[in-house]
Structure 1
Amino acid sequence: MRPIQQWFDEYGQSHQNHTNKLIHWICVPLIFFSIVGLLASIPAGPLKMLFPEQLRPFVHFGTIVILLGLLFYLRLSFTMFLGMAIVCSLVLWLVYVVDVNLETPLWLVCLVVFVLAWVGQFYGHKVEGKKPSFLKDLQFLLIGPAWLLGFIYRKLGIPY
């Protein structure tokens, strides 16, 4: 597996334009949230019954995908894994909050967010003049959130 900095360098090649970067700071987290929310909307049935009552709202297919994604981050960097675990926990909590507090079904909210965020992403790449990295390698869909977290790590002086 490539080192994390190599992933970031390659991802960064199609993310040089200030407008595109700004759009990514907004749209990448929204896409991440919406995917987890869409997956959380799929009935998990008896799977939930295997867990204590207080954990059941977080037992869904979104959580399973997050756990698989965290394995990817763990293979890249332990500190990135820890940061992404915090980000993923926040996303799971936000999905729960939206699901419990809005009358609109979670899947519908997430579908609208997903579509609008991808429109934003493709607009950003049009401004950039380069294709999205994931068209070359689907693993870049996992690199996007970590690339943003990498900026925060550098600002805080946290090695990754």
Structure 2
Amino acid sequence: MKTLTEHLGQYAEYHRDRRNIASHFIGIPLIVLAVAVLLSRPGVEVFGLWLSPAALVALASAWFYLRLDLRFGLVMAGLLWLSLWAGAVLAVQGTAVWLGAGLGLFVIGWLIQFIGHYYEGRKPAFVDDLMGLVVGPLFVVAELAFLCGLRDEVRRAVEKRAGPTCIRHGKALG
């Protein structure tokens, strides 16, 4: 299994333009929420928990994140739990609300992603490696941590592999 910095570094190679990274702060959470909503049916409530395909995907994803890094994994598990909660709330609504919310979030999230990649001038990472679909949400959390001055050792390792972030047609701002 690749390490945290190997996954983030590979993903970061496709995401060095600050506008693209900013688009991911909006697009990826919308997509994660959309997947949680859409996979929350069928589901059943057991002991106050909504068990659904979304819960299985979230559990597998959380396990992956926790194996990579405990601190980021705990944050990701918490965010996945929030997505599952929102998905369960929408799953018990009428089909039009559930499906409209899920599909709407999914389409809007991907549109934002593709706008970001227009600025990047590069295809999304998942085109070359499907693991990019799982690493993307972790990348957003890591970038937020880096912006807050946290996990500087991870940021340095990622930038060593991918280079500093920049604005295309401008100077590096890393």
TM range (shorter): 0.7 to 0.9
TM-score (norm 1): 0.84
Percent of residue pairs identical: 30
Aligned-pair CA distance for 1:102: 8.1
Contact 2:38 2:87 in 1 (8 A): no
Match of 2:22 in 1: 22
Judged with a 3 Å threshold, the aligned counterparts in structure 2 of structure 1 residues 95 and 11 are, in CA distance, closer, same or farther, namely same
More helix by share: 1
Deviations 1:77-106 (A, max 9, x none): 122221111111111122234446789421
Aligned-pair CA distance for 1:13: 1.4
Match of 2:111 in 1: 119
Amino acid at match of 1:88: L
Judged with a 3 Å threshold, the aligned counterparts in structure 2 of structure 1 residues 103 and 62 are, in CA distance, closer, same or farther, namely closer
| Aligned counterparts of 1:101 and 1:152: Cα–Cα separation in 2 | 33
| Aligned counterparts of 1:146 and 1:59: Cα–Cα separation in 2 | 24
In structure 2, list runs of 5 or more residues that go unmatched: 155-174
CA RMSD of aligned residues (A): 2.2
Match of 1:6 in 2: 6
| Aligned counterparts of 1:116 and 1:153: Cα–Cα separation in 2 | 25
Aligned-pair CA distance for 1:145: 0.8
| Aligned counterparts of 1:18 and 1:80: Cα–Cα separation in 2 | 22
In structure 1, list runs of 5 or more residues that go unmatched: none
Match of 1:63 in 2: 55
| Aligned counterparts of 1:151 and 1:16: Cα–Cα separation in 2 | 11
| Aligned counterparts of 1:125 and 1:18: Cα–Cα separation in 2 | 11
Amino acid at match of 1:152: L
| Aligned counterparts of 2:83 and 2:55: Cα–Cα separation in 1 | 10
TM-score (norm 2): 0.78
Aligned-pair CA distance for 1:112: 1.4
